[in-house]
Structure 1
Amino acid sequence: MEPFTPRTRTGGRKNNITLSAKEYTKITGTIASVRRNRLPQDDIDEEITGNGHLSRESRARSQNEPSFIAETSFVRAPLNSRVSSVTGAPKSKGKARQEPLENVPVDIQEALILEDMLCILMGIEGTFITFHPEYSAEDDDPLQGIRFVASSSLDSSLRDLVERILPLGTYYTAILSFVEQRSHLDFGLVNHALCASIRDMLKDYQTLLSQLEHAFSTSAQFSLQKLWFYIHPTIHTLSLIYQLVLELGSADDPAADLDSSSSESATDPEEDARNEALGLGGAKLKAVLSEIDKNGLEVDSSGIAVKGGEVLAMIYERMQNMSGDPTAKTLYSTLLRAAGTPYVAMLRVWIMTGRLVDPYEELLVKESKFINRGILEMDYTDEYWERRYTLRDGSTLAAPSKRRQAGVPAPRSIGGRLPGGACVPPLLEGWKHKILLAGKYLNVIRECGIEIRRDQGHSDDEILTMDDEKFYVFLEDAYTHANRTLLQLLLRDQQLIPRLSSLKRYFFLSQSSFLTHMLDLSHSELRQPAKSASIVKLQSLLDLALNTDSHGEDALFREDVKVTLTTSGLYEWLLNVVNVSGVIGEEDGDPKVQQEEPKKAKDDKKFLAIDAFALDYTVKFPLSLVISRKTILRYQLIFRFLLHLKHVELSLGAMWIEQQTTPWRKPLPHYPELERWRLRVLLLRARMLSFVQQILAFATFEVLEPNWRALEAKLAKVTTVDQLLRDHVDFLDTCLKECMLTSSKLLRAYSRLIVTCSTFTMYTSSFTKTAVSAIAASETPEGDQSMKTRSEILGKFETNFNHWFVPVYLNCVQYYASSENVSLLPLVVRLSSVNKTS
C-alpha cells in the first residue's frame, strides 16, 4: 500500500500557528514563488536590474559566492543554494537547523523536504535533512557512502517516505567515490571499464534527477508521493551497484596499495643513473628482482588490489547468486560484459600473436621476463617452455589442483579467492590451459622468426564477450591453429622423429657396435680416475667410433653427440634423489643432493672415469622444447645404466678369454684343492656373466624396444604439442621405472651386485697369477701354502654375490612384479634361470 501524503485542512489552521502574521506571509510567499513558473524578470533579477544595486543580504552573499553575480540566470535552479555547502562551506555536522517544523503545515513541510530531497539524491546536505551525527568526512570510508538523517520534527506521515528514499543518497555517494577511486591507473583496465559502465548508469540517474528538479520547479502538483513513484525503480538498481561496490571495496586495502606503489615510483633519478652505470639498474635487473620476489614462498595478498580476473569473478558470482532477480541479472550481466571487454581484448592479442600485453598484471597468464631465448643458446633447459609463461594460479595440466605453490599469492581472507590476475574468471576456468598453450605455441613460432598469420575466420573488429558462444568458438579455433602450426614445425621442418631415433640409437645402445669400439679404444683412459681423464681425448675417440659406424639419417646428427664426465656416481646419485624426493623430475635433482654428493665423489680417489662417463646431446631452439635438459637427464641415466652393464659384460668376457689359457686348463690330479678353486672361479664368473646378460637383455629387448615402438605409434597419431611433450616424458619415465631405477630397494641391491661383479673383473690378472704361482708351488717339495688365503678371498666374492642376489635382489624383484610393476615378470623368469644354474 502506497503511503498517503496528507493535505492541509481549511479553516482555523492559521489561528493555531505560533508564527506571526508577517513570518507566515513570508514563508507562504516563498513556497508559492518556487512552485510557479519563473519568468526572466524574477525577484532577484528585478533587484539587480530595477534597483541598480543589491540588497544587504545579496551583497553579503555575493562576497562569498561571486559566481552567482556573473551567472544570474543560474540562480533560478533551486539547488544552487546547496552547492556552496559541498564545495567548501562548513558542514552542519549532522545537526539540522532547528526550525520548529512541527508547527509548520504539512504541505509546507512537504515542499521544504522536497527541495532537500533533491539535494540529498545528489549527495548534497540539505536544510532539514543533514549528514548523520556520526558521519565524519575525514574518518569514514568514502566507499561506505554518506548517511543522511531527517529532522526529528518532521511530520511522521512524511518521514516514512523520506526514510525510504534517503538510502539512495548513500548509494549515490558511495558509487561516485568508488568510480573516482578505481579510475586510478594502478587498478587496471578491467576496473577502468567497470567504472566507465557505472558512470554511464549514473548519467541516466543524473538525467532523472534533472527531470525531477524540472518537475519540482514547474509543476504545482509535484509531491513527495510522485517523487517516490519515479525514484522507486532506481533505488533497487543503485542498491545492486552499491552492494557490488561494497564487496569490491572490502576485499583489499586500496589506500595501502596506492601508497606503496607511489613510494616505489618516487625514486631519485640520480640514484637510478648511478645504479645503471654500475650495472645495478635497468629493466632486466628489475624484472629479475620482481620475479624473485614473486617466486618467494610467502606472497601477501593484502597488498594486491582487486583487479583483473578477480573483479570479473566477483561480478559473475553476484550475477549467479541473484539470478532469480531479473533486474540484478540484467544489471550484472551488463557490468560483466563491459568490464570484461579489455580482458577479452588482451586475451585476443595473446592467443592470436603470442604477445602478452598486460601492463597491470590482470590476465590469468603471467610472464617471467628474465627467462628469454638467449638462455637457450647457453643452456637449453625447458624453463623457457615451462616457466616463462605460466598461469598465475599456479595450476598445470600435470597438477591441476590449486595447491599453494611458490610465487602464487595466498587466497583472500574474505571470499577465499586468489587476488588480482591470479583469480581466473569462472567462465574461463575450463579454458585456461588452452589459452596458455595457444599463446605459448605462437610465441615459439614467433621466436623462430616465422610470420604469424592471423586466423581469417574472425575479424579484429568483431566484438566478443565472455557470455557469447562465439568467443569460445574463437578460443577453440585459435588454439587449434596455433597447435597445428607448431606441430608441423617440429615434426616436418625440424625433423623431430629422426632426432629422437638418433637419441635412441646413441643412448639406448640399440646398435652398440660403436660403443664396443669406443670402449676398446678408450679402455686405458676410462680406467683412470675421473679427475685425470681427458674429455678432449675421449671426445676424439668417440668421433672416431661414430665415423666408422654411422649410417643413414644418424650420420646427420653424430656431431650433436658430446662426451661429458659427471661429478657423482650413478647409483649414489639415484639413491639420494629417490630417497629425498621420490621422483626423478628436476633437472639437477634435489639441491641438497647436488651440493653434497659431488663433494663426496671428488674426495673419492676410486671414482673412475668409466663411472663418470656419459653422453650429452645438443639441440637448438625450438627442438630444445622437446629434447630439453630434463629429458636429456633421463636419457643419460638410462645410458649410464646400460653402459655399466655393457662394460661389466665385456670385462667378464675378457676374463673368460683370459681363463682359456694354460694355468686354467692344465689338469692337476695331484692338487684337487686348486682344481676346486679354479672351478669355483669359473662358476662365479659364469653366474655373474649370466646375471649381467639377463639384466641387459631384459632392459634392451623387453623394456626399451617395446616402449619405443609404443612411442612411435603415439607420435604417428599425435594431435597436440602438449600431448607430444607428455608422451615423450612418459616414455622416458616408464623406461626408468621398468629398468628399476626409481625404487630405492631395487637400486640398493642392484648397485651392490653390479659393484661386486665389476670388482671381481678387476681381479682377472690377479687370479691368473695366483693360479700360475699355485701350480708352480704345488710342484715343489714344500707344496702350496697360500690356498687358504686364496679361498678366503674368493669366498668373500661368493658370499657377497649370493647374499645380494638370491635373498635380497631376486626377492625384491618378485615382490614388485607381483604388487607394483607387472612388467618385471619376465625378469623374474630370467633371474630364476640364473639362480638354478648355481
Structure 2
Amino acid sequence: MSSTSPAKIPNLCNRLFRAFEESRSRKTKQKYNPTEHSNSLDFSGWRVEMPSPSAPSRSATPGDWDEPPSDVVVEEKIILEELLTVFLGGDSYLIRVVNFSRRTGKKKFNLSPSIDEMNAEFVRKCLPMAVYYSILCRFVEEHSAKNLQAGRVNQALSGSIDELLISEYVMFIESLEKKNRSGRLHLHELWFHIQNVMTSMKMNAELVLTITENKTQGGLTLTALHEYLNKIVALISLDTRLCFQMTKISSAPYMKSVKEWIFNGVIYDPFNEFMIVENPRVNKETYSEGYWENKYQLRHCMIPSFLDDVKDYILNAGKYLNAMKECADYERKPIDLPPLENLEYSDDNAYNEVIVKAYKHSSKALLKYMLNDHKLIKRISTAKKYFLLEQGDFVAQILDTCNEELDKDINEVMPSRLATLVEMAIKMPTTEDDVPTKIHITSCLKTLDLQSQVTKIMRNVPQKNDSDSIADETLPLTGYEAFTLSMKCRWPVSLVFNTKVQSLYQMLFRHFFYCKHVERLLCNAWILDQTIRSMSHEEMKPYGPALVLRNKMILFLQNMQNYITEDAIEPAWIEFLESVEHCESVDDLIQKHWDFLETCMKDCFLADLKMLSLFRRIVDLCKDAAKFILGLGTLRNVEEYPSYSLHISKLDEEFTKNIVAFLSRIIDMSTRDPSGKLIKLYYRLNFNHFYNQKLAKNGSNVKSNISFIDLRQ
C-alpha cells in the first residue's frame, strides 16, 4: 500500500463520510419499505436471539435519538414495527428503557421527542403490555427449575406461565406482525386488538409481583392463584382457561405431597412448603399429653385456601397411618392403606371427596386395629376397675397390706416397699387375669393434696412431676392422702391413656380411696364398740352420743359411695360403651373417653370446688371421730376422760353443720340436674327429713327448690 500524504487526508475523509451516509440511507429504506413483506414468520429461534426478554434495553441518551421520516404514514409504520419489537423485549430506536428493576423485571420507557404527538399517545397506552411481559419473563427466569430455592410450586407456576401464557402471547404478537407486514395494521387497530390481552397480562403480572414481593411459596402461592382464578371468573370478558390450567399445573407438585401423606403417611416436602410438619423431638415413648397434637401439626400459613375446609381430614388421614406404622406389629403385619386415587386441582372440588374418603378409610382402619388387636375397651375397663375401685378385693388387699406404710407421713413412706405391696395385691389370683399384659399398674405418691391438684387442673396450670417438691404449697400429707395408682402402657394404647387422662383417673382414685380408708376406720371403731354391748343400759349411756355419731358418719359415707358407683359412674360408663359403637375414628374414641371421665369428675363433685371442699371437710370429721374413738381403746370408764362428752358433742355439732351446708348445695345444684340423681342423693342423706329443721334455719327452701320423689317407686 502506498503512503498517504497529509494533503490527501481531507479528501479521504469526505469520501468516507459520503459512503457512510449512502449505506445508512439504503438500510433505512430496506427496513421501512412497506411494499416488501413476507407472509411467513419464523419465531422458532426467538429465545436464542433474545435470551432474556426481561433484561434492560439500551438506555436513551439526550441527543442520541434516530430521527423518524417526516412522512406520517412511514412514521406510523416505523412505530408499529418498534412497538411489536418492544412487546417481545427487543431493542428499539425510538422507544428506549429509562429504568429497570432487576428484582421484578419492571421497565419504564421514554419516547423520542420527534414522534408525532398523536402517535406518541397511542404508544404510551400500548407500552404497559411490554412492561407486563417483562415482569412475567423475569418471574419465569427467577423461578425456573434451575433455582432450587424457588420451591416446587413456584417452579411449576413458572413453567406454566412460560408454556401457556408467554407462548400464546408470542403467537399473538406474531399474528400482529404478519398483519403489519401485509400493510393492514394501524396504531388504532393495534390498540383495539391488544385490549383483552393487555388486561390478562396485567392481572398475571400483578399476580407474580405479589408472589415476588411477598416471597410466597407452596400453599401461599396456590392460595394467591386460587383467589386470582375466582377473581377473573367474575370478569366474563376474560378467558379463564389459561388461568385454570396455570393453577392446575402449579398445584400438581403440592397435590403430589398431599397424596403421599393421605395414602402412605409420608411427608414429601423437599423445599419446606407443605402444610404438614413433623416434630422429630416428640417421642412416643414419653407419651405426654401433647404427643398426639404435637407430633404432626398443621402449618396454617402453607394451607391453600381451596384445601382449608379439609385440612383436618388431611392431617388426621396421614396421622392415623403413621400411628399404625409405629406399632410394634408393623414389621410382621402390613397395615391397611387406603386405595390410591387420582388427586388433582379441579373446578368442581372433586379432590375434597378423595381426601375425605382416604381419611375415613384410615380412621376406621386404626380404630379397628386398636379395638381388635390391642383390646382397647378391655384396657379402659381394667382402668375403671382399679382406678374407680370397682375391683373390691383389690381395695381390701391394699387397705390390709399397705395400712402400716400408708399411715405414715409422706416423707416416711418407703416407695419401693409400697410398690412391692401394691404389686402383690394386684397379682392376687382373683385379680391377676384382669390386668392386660401391656398395662402395668403401680403405686404413686403425690406431694400435692387433692383439692390443690383439682384447682390446678381446672385453672389449666401445668402439672409438676411426682418427684417435684412442692411442700411449700401445702401441709405435709399422710400416705393415705398422697397415695394413688399410675399406669404405664405401650404404644399405641398410650395415645388413649396419656398424661391428662391419667391425671383424671388419679384424682378420682384419690377421692374414692380416701373415703374407703375413712369408712374402714369407722368400721374398726364399730368393731371396738361391740365390746361395750355387755354393759348395762346405765353404763352404756355415756357412750350413746359417740355411737349415734359414728352410725351417722358410716351411713353418710355408704350413701355417698352408693351414689358415686351406682348413680354417677355406672350410667356414664354405660353411655360411654354405647357411644363407642358410633365412633368413626380413634379421635372420636379418645374424645368419648375424655367425656366419660369429665362426667365422672362432675358427678362426683370434683369439678365443683365448693362442693369438694364441703365433702372433704365432712370426710375429715369422720376420720377425726374414728381416730378419737379408736384412741380410747377398750376403755370402760369414760370418767377417766373428762373432755370425752364435750369432744363428741363438738364433733357432732360440726358434722351436722357441714351436712346441712352440703345438702343446701345439693338443693342448688339439683335445679341443673335433669337426671334427678342429686335429688335421690338428697333424700338418702336426709332420710325421714332428719335435717329439715336445720335446713330451714339455714335458709334453704326445700319444697321450692326440689320436687318430691316417691322413693317407694
TM-score band by shorter chain is 0.7 to 0.9
Amino acid at match of 2:309: G
SS at match of 1:548: coil
Amino acid at match of 2:613: R
Kindly indicate whether the alpha-carbon contact (under 8 Å) linking 1:79 and 1:115 is maintained by their aligned counterparts in 2: no
**d(CA) in 1 for partners of 2:563 and 2:46?**
98
Q: Deviation at 1:504? A: 1.4
Judged with a 3 Å threshold, the aligned counterparts in structure 2 of structure 1 residues 115 and 499 are, in CA distance, closer, same or farther, namely: same
**d(CA) in 2 for partners of 1:572 and 1:177?**
65
Is residue 716 from structure 1 mapped to residue 570 from structure 2 by the alignment?
no
In structure 2, the partner of 1:815 is 668
Q: Deviation at 1:346? A: 0.4
SS at match of 1:369: coil
Q: Deviation at 1:790? A: 3.1
Amino acid at match of 2:551: A
Is residue 798 from structure 1 mapped to residue 709 from structure 2 by the alignment?
no
Amino acid at match of 2:365: T
**d(CA) in 2 for partners of 1:816 and 1:525?**
39
Amino acid at match of 1:320: N
In structure 2, the partner of 1:322 is 232
Q: How does 1:105-144 map to 2 (within 5 A)?
A: 105-124=71-90, 126-132=92-98, 135=99, 137=100, 140=101, 142-143=103-104
SS at match of 2:273: coil
Q: Which of the residues 226, 242, 256 maps onto 1:345?
A: 256
**d(CA) in 2 for partners of 1:706 and 1:474?**
39
Q: Deviation at 1:80? A: 11
Kindly indicate whether the alpha-carbon contact (under 8 Å) linking 2:156 and 2:250 is maintained by their aligned counterparts in 1: yes
Judged with a 3 Å threshold, the aligned counterparts in structure 2 of structure 1 residues 26 and 613 are, in CA distance, closer, same or farther, namely: closer
**d(CA) in 2 for partners of 1:86 and 1:481?**
50
Q: Which of the residues 289, 295, 298 maps onto 1:391?
A: 298
Is residue 833 from structure 1 mapped to residue 690 from structure 2 by the alignment?
no
**d(CA) in 1 for partners of 2:508 and 2:688?**
24
Q: Which of the residues 205, 221, 226 maps onto 1:311?
A: 221
Alignment: residue pair count: 659
Q: Which of the residues 458, 462, 474 maps onto 2:354?
A: 474
Q: C-alpha deviations, 1:16-43, integer Å up to 9, x for none?
A: xxxx9x989965871344437989xxxx
Q: Deviation at 1:746? A: 1.3
Judged with a 3 Å threshold, the aligned counterparts in structure 2 of structure 1 residues 773 and 186 are, in CA distance, closer, same or farther, namely: farther
Amino acid at match of 2:663: L
Q: Deviation at 1:79? A: 13
In structure 2, the partner of 1:570 is 450
In structure 2, the partner of 1:298 is none
Q: C-alpha deviations, 1:520-577, integer Å up to 9, x for none?
A: 1211111112222223322332333333352585154497221122222212221343
Q: How does 1:419-498 map to 2 (within 5 A)?
A: 419=301, 421=302, 424-448=303-327, 449=330, 450-452=333-335, 454-456=337-339, 458=341, 462=342, 464-467=344-347, 470-498=350-378
Kindly indicate whether the alpha-carbon contact (under 8 Å) linking 1:82 and 1:125 is maintained by their aligned counterparts in 2: no
**d(CA) in 2 for partners of 1:719 and 1:552?**
32
Q: Deviation at 1:228? A: 4.0
Judged with a 3 Å threshold, the aligned counterparts in structure 2 of structure 1 residues 213 and 91 are, in CA distance, closer, same or farther, namely: same
Q: CA RMSD in A?
A: 3.6
In structure 2, the partner of 1:617 is 487
Q: C-alpha deviations, 1:251-273, integer Å up to 9, x for none?
A: x2xxxxxxxxxxxxxxxxxxxxx
In structure 2, the partner of 1:62 is none
In structure 2, the partner of 1:774 is 638
Q: Which of the residues 682, 685, 695 maps onto 2:550?
A: 685
Q: Which moved more, 1:710-719 or 1:646-655?
A: 710-719
Kindly indicate whether the alpha-carbon contact (under 8 Å) linking 1:187 and 1:306 is maintained by their aligned counterparts in 2: no
Q: Deviation at 1:773? A: 4.8
Kindly indicate whether the alpha-carbon contact (under 8 Å) linking 2:232 and 2:240 is maintained by their aligned counterparts in 1: yes
**d(CA) in 2 for partners of 1:84 and 1:577?**
65
Q: How does 1:175-254 map to 2 (within 5 A)?
A: 175-183=136-144, 184-200=147-163, 201-210=165-174, 212-213=176-177, 219-225=182-188, 227-228=190-191, 230-250=193-213, 252=214
Q: Deviation at 1:81? A: 11
Q: Deviation at 1:832? A: 2.5
Kindly indicate whether the alpha-carbon contact (under 8 Å) linking 1:35 and 1:220 is maintained by their aligned counterparts in 2: no
Amino acid at match of 2:109: F
Q: C-alpha deviations, 1:368-411, integer Å up to 9, x for none?
A: 121133xx1xx333433221012223xxxxxxxxxxxxxxxxxx
Residue segments in structure 2 that go unaligned for 5+ positions in a row: 1-17, 695-713
Amino acid at match of 2:440: D
Amino acid at match of 1:650: R
SS at match of 2:486: strand
**d(CA) in 2 for partners of 1:577 and 1:568?**
12
SS at match of 2:409: coil
Q: C-alpha deviations, 1:404-456, integer Å up to 9, x for none?
A: xxxxxxxxxxxxxxx4x1xx323222211111111011111111224345544
Amino acid at match of 2:33: R
In structure 2, the partner of 1:302 is none
Q: Which of the residues 731, 734, 745 maps onto 2:596?
A: 731
**d(CA) in 2 for partners of 1:246 and 1:208?**
23
Kindly indicate whether the alpha-carbon contact (under 8 Å) linking 1:319 and 1:333 is maintained by their aligned counterparts in 2: yes
Judged with a 3 Å threshold, the aligned counterparts in structure 2 of structure 1 residues 121 and 513 are, in CA distance, closer, same or farther, namely: same
- TM-score normalized with structure 1 length: 0.71
Judged with a 3 Å threshold, the aligned counterparts in structure 2 of structure 1 residues 552 and 752 are, in CA distance, closer, same or farther, namely: closer
Q: C-alpha deviations, 1:253-312, integer Å up to 9, x for none?
A: xxxxxxxxxxxxxxxxxxxxxxxxxxxxxxxxxxxxxxxxxxxxxxxxxxxx41222222
**d(CA) in 1 for partners of 2:343 and 2:385?**
53
Amino acid at match of 2:278: E
**d(CA) in 1 for partners of 2:255 and 2:403?**
64
Kindly indicate whether the alpha-carbon contact (under 8 Å) linking 1:35 and 1:219 is maintained by their aligned counterparts in 2: no
Q: How does 1:254-293 map to 2 (within 5 A)?
A: none
Judged with a 3 Å threshold, the aligned counterparts in structure 2 of structure 1 residues 434 and 182 are, in CA distance, closer, same or farther, namely: same
Judged with a 3 Å threshold, the aligned counterparts in structure 2 of structure 1 residues 531 and 391 are, in CA distance, closer, same or farther, namely: same
In structure 2, the partner of 1:151 is 112
Q: How does 1:744-763 map to 2 (within 5 A)?
A: 744-763=609-628
Kindly indicate whether the alpha-carbon contact (under 8 Å) linking 1:147 and 1:169 is maintained by their aligned counterparts in 2: no
Amino acid at match of 1:349: E
